[in-house]
Amino acid sequence: MTKSKSRAVIVGNGNMEDVQSLKNYSHRFIVACDGGVRHCIRAGVKPDIIVGDLDSASKEDIAFFEKEGVVLIKLPEKKDLTDTEYAIELLAEEKCEELCLLALTGERLDHTRTNINLLYKCLKLGIKACIKDKYNTVTITDNIFVSNREKNETVSLIPLTEKVKSVTTKNLEYEITDFDMDIASSRGVSNVCLGGEMSVSVKEGVLLIFFSKDREGKAV
């Protein structure tokens, strides 16, 4: 049965400590970006397509999945967009509505920051998107965000645009109402969820929302 592309996953070449968690997304349409195939191999999960210039994927991994019938979209080595951005555009053309991006964080801060910025591209394309790793979930809003969260979970609100105006939160320990946030301020870092449904609303600007845990699984 062909999977729907409306709910998809992109697997990048970044860190993925909990690689077996990829199995939780096996029912979704999976795009492995270049070296992301190694995570699929380790998890025993077959991607639906592979996208990339193949500068970080091993020939053995690519050959294995090609034998399994996985479609390979080979990109040129010299290109304007990253493999991940190309994959997002490809999924947008296929009417993707919800996207989870995995293995997109790591030692290269330039890559991590660029990938977080790509959440804004998803927002503009009408795709509900988030980046996840073992310790963090990052999403984005320019309107209203609502989610059921665990009690004492750490949440940080970080402006992506220079100003984010009239930010209002509900069911957080430190509430704000119609507050204007500035990209040059740390005001929104390390708030705490009270448990159950929390919300963040924005009237103007774009806000990143981080849910974080430390390496012991506790709220930061």
pLDDT at residue 215 greater than cutoff 70: no
Q: What percent of the chain has pLDDT over 90?
A: 92
Average pLDDT over residues 88-101: 97
pLDDT at residue 121 greater than cutoff 60: yes
pLDDT, mean over the chain:
94
Average pLDDT over residues 164-182: 97
Give residue-wise pLDDT tens across range 45-85: 999 999 999 989 999 999 999 999 999 999 998 889 999 99
Helix (H, G, I), strand (E, B) or coil at 87: helix
Q: How many CA atoms lie within 13 A of 211 on its CB side?
A: 24
Average pLDDT over residues 170-175: 96
Q: What percent of the chain has pLDDT over 70?
A: 97
Scanning the structure block, which residue is given the tokens 């965000």? 145
User: What confidence score (pLDDT) does residue 118 get?
Assistant: 98
Average pLDDT over residues 139-159: 97
Q: How far is Cα 161 from Cα 86, in angstroms, rounded to an integer? A: 23
Question: Which domains does the chain show, CATH number per domain?
Answer: 7-134 (3.40.50.10240), 141-212 (2.60.120.320)
User: What confidence score (pLDDT) does residue 78 get?
Assistant: 86
pLDDT at residue 114 greater than cutoff 70: yes
Give the pTM: 0.93
Q: Which of 50, 39, 33, 37 is nearest to 16 (CA)?
A: 39
